[in-house]
Structure 1
Amino acid sequence: MANDDSAAPFRPETIKFGIFQAPYHPMTGNPTLQIRRDIDLAKHADHLGFDEYWMGEHHSGGIENVPAPDLFIAAAVEHTHRIKFGTGVFSLPYHHPLLVADRIAQLDHQSNGRVILGVGPGKLPLDAIMMGIDPPDQRRMQGESLEAIVELLKGNVVNAKTDWFELHDARAQLLPVSPDGIEIAVASTVTPSGSVLAGKHGGTLLSLAAGDKAGFDALDRNWDVYVTESEKHGHTPNRAGWRVVTPMFLAESREEADKAVRRRILHHVDYLEKAGGGIQFPWGRDPQSAIDQLRGEGWPSFGSAVIGTPDEAIAAIEAMISKTGGFGTFLIIHYDMADWEATKRSYELFADEVIPYFRRSNRNRVASLDYHSAHAQQLGAGVVQAITQATQQYYGKDAQIHIR
């Protein structure tokens, strides 16, 4: 369990819940409809009471077909009312820092303060190579960019010169909606680099690989790095701002869940095999074998997933709480593996059964019924007495009363 006595105590009922879109979509589908359904899913999540919805940035590989998360969020906020949106994530080496600060500040105003700036170094090597960026430089570039963005969003004038951008008396014209600024969440996977940056700049931690074995194993280590770096730079570690991400798909039973994802699951396997240079996984030709592998040891890059029931989702989240000592938000990474109706139903089950379990939403309802049960004889006698008195007042004291 992660150790941070300086952070506020964890309370499970305060956990928030959201959806994280890479987004992954079968390459045989209609990309226009896929993006429109992603907006519809944001509307559905808002209706169901989810707290957050994240959209990623990718420029190659085909399966993750949104290159501009801010454009997506700008559209989605117009169809929602309360849910917050995060860039999941802006790959900072691909953008001039002044443009990132300007665009997120504008988006903050368009959403009326419902935006979170998620940042990372960039995941797909081809993205970087197409832009002339050497992949080993990406984490350094992320740090240089974030340094400038933090100051720009504070309203400060920034001067900086690196080997890939310059800022000369630069300032962001728009400041964030809230005087507290825009939350900045830094992506973290297995290495400590994301934790170092988040702690240095007072950001929050976005653990993207919690569903992967190596990522899961690194959760508490990376949190400890975040705590150390936060305190070193005068910031308070923010457990409430810690987000963990893992995939889930729910149905009434495992059999129904398997049936729902069986038709599309091999599209995702095909992507992994081609992205790996044409390798073939031994479980990659049969849908049920692919499901069992994803549910068990997991897939490369995708990690392991809960494909099953709300009870299995609860057990997985409890295991994550036990591993980490608690976090602020649990994000379901969305794999587009089922039809639209089954997808909506999966999130409905999560909202209806998983979220109330952790938030203890029904504790007073349960306590009320338990009290009624414990005092049933006394309460029942009172009801009989009241009915008898009311009847005899009208018909006389010799009236016969029959109560079942």
Structure 2
Amino acid sequence: MRTGFGIFLSPLHDPRTDPHLNIHHDLELVELADRLNLDECWFGEHHSLGWPLVGAPETMIAAAATRTERIVLANGVVTVPFHHPFHIATRALMLDHLTKGRYILGLGPGATPNDAHMLGVPVDQLKPRTLAAIPTIIELVNGTRRVTDRTDWYDLVDARMQLPPHSPGGIRFAVSSVGSPFGPTVAAEFGMDLLSFGAPPPGWPGVDLAGQWRVAEEAAAARGTTVDRARWRVAVPIHIAETREKAFAEAEAGFGRWMHNYWGDAVGAPVTPGPSARADMLTAVAEKRAIIGSVEDAIEAIADLHERTGGFGTFLAYVMNWAPRSATKLCYELLATEVAPVFTGSTARGLDSIAWSQRWRAAKEADARATDAVPATVR
């Protein structure tokens, strides 16, 4: 299976650094990803915890659309219970046109209790409201009929979008999954792509990615639908450098802050500090919660991820900004130029040309030796 490559931007930044500059740095990273021929860029939606800056990912997508040419831009994801379905559909159709069809509408219930609290949404209603609203959003975006829908959350009366999708086939949809059966089941029920976060935060249980896909397949079988691994995306934190030691040295300080200040202080995850940030990084890599190392390390880790999951369509580099900006940019250059080709097959013909040339020369040399071995009188 060909594997696509992209980036996932929460985006996370150390709150001690300037937010204005960080937002523009994120847009520069999207431009770089586009130039590097990466396939996709996903933008998260967050409203608290200091580190994730973007509460209006649609605005970021619109800005990125003017700076890029080919990369697909996606909501990763719209927190459905925080928005009226009519407004989700309206913004999605505008983005579909602004990107000229380079847009995916990702939907999900959200995973930050702080955000739900500020908006007065009961946490136990996040998934039920998302599930109830998804068919309405799909109809508003890609359908043709007028929708009337009265709930204890929102009302719609004869609602219909006056702007059609840019592409005749309509907008693509995706649903997020952080480990529960909710996302895979919804993907199977509504024919949506699946976006899985393949590396849990420190202190949390591991994610059974293969189990997630089994849930999707079982749900599809029960509903008479189908799911396709090519439409499955897995996001994992990654930092690559020319050598393993350099990658660890570049990411060490940022990783320590991210682990203890973000996940520990802000999120309240049960982080248990190791003897050093380097030790914590080694643990994260060993537990497959992050990929840190050389190009060869990254290739091995992504191949292992394929083996453990049974295969998926797109690897998303979960952008954590552990390293300085120059090192972060080089990380994505290495990902695109040296790691991705192993899984996309883009270098196969060039390498085959060299192998063919070697075989051809060897055959010529063998023929020449055979000719020289024949006595001149026989020749």
8 Å contact from structure 1 (residues 247, 306) kept in 2: yes
**Partner residue, 1:272:** 263
- Over the aligned positions, Cα root-mean-square deviation in angstroms equals 2.1
Aligned in 2, Cα 1:382/1:76: closer, same or farther, shift over 3 Å? farther
Q: Which has the larger radius of gyration?
A: 1
Give the 5 Å matches for 1:258-337: 258-268=248-258, 269-275=260-266, 277=268, 281-283=272-274, 286-297=276-287, 304-337=289-322
Amino acid aligned to 1:321: H
8 Å contact from structure 1 (residues 242, 329) kept in 2: yes
Matched, 1:136 2:127: no
**Structure 1 Cα separation of the partners of residues 31 and 247 of structure 2:** 23
**Structure 2 Cα separation of the partners of residues 346 and 69 of structure 1:** 24
8 Å contact from structure 2 (residues 291, 298) kept in 1: yes
**Partner residue, 1:256:** 246
**Partner residue, 1:194:** 183
Matched, 1:357 2:342: yes
Amino acid aligned to 1:176: P
**Partner residue, 2:194:** 205
Alpha-carbon shift at residue 357 of structure 1 (Å)? 0.8
Task: Return 5+ residue gaps in structure 2 as ranges.
Answer: 369-379
**Partner residue, 1:183:** 172
**Structure 2 Cα separation of the partners of residues 54 and 320 of structure 1:** 20
Aligned in 2, Cα 1:236/1:277: closer, same or farther, shift over 3 Å? closer
Amino acid aligned to 1:138: L
Q: Deviations over 1:325-380 (max 9, x none)?
A: 21111111010111111011001111111111112222222222222222325546
Q: Deviations over 1:229-257 (max 9, x none)?
A: 33444433222111111111000111111
From 20, 23, 26, the equivalent of 2:14 is 26
Matched, 1:158 2:143: no
Secondary structure at the counterpart of residue 23 of structure 1: coil
Amino acid aligned to 1:61: L
**Structure 2 Cα separation of the partners of residues 245 and 194 of structure 1:** 14
8 Å contact from structure 2 (residues 49, 267) kept in 1: no
From 91, 96, 104, the equivalent of 2:84 is 96
Aligned in 2, Cα 1:72/1:208: closer, same or farther, shift over 3 Å? same
**Structure 2 Cα separation of the partners of residues 297 and 236 of structure 1:** 32
Q: Deviations over 1:289-347 (max 9, x none)?
A: 3322332347xxxxx11110111111111112112221111111010111111011001
**Partner residue, 2:356:** 371
Mean CA deviation greater in 147-156 or 137-146: 147-156
From 224, 229, 249, the equivalent of 1:239 is 229
Amino acid aligned to 2:344: R
User: Could you tell me the TM-score, scaled by structure 1's length?
Assistant: 0.85
8 Å contact from structure 2 (residues 47, 55) kept in 1: yes
Amino acid aligned to 2:86: L
Alpha-carbon shift at residue 276 of structure 1 (Å)? 5.0
8 Å contact from structure 1 (residues 231, 237) kept in 2: no
User: Could you tell me the TM-score, scaled by structure 2's length?
Assistant: 0.90
From 34, 40, 45, the equivalent of 2:28 is 40
**Structure 1 Cα separation of the partners of residues 106 and 286 of structure 2:** 29
8 Å contact from structure 1 (residues 211, 245) kept in 2: no
**Partner residue, 1:338:** 323
Work out the number of aligned pairs and report it.
Answer: 364
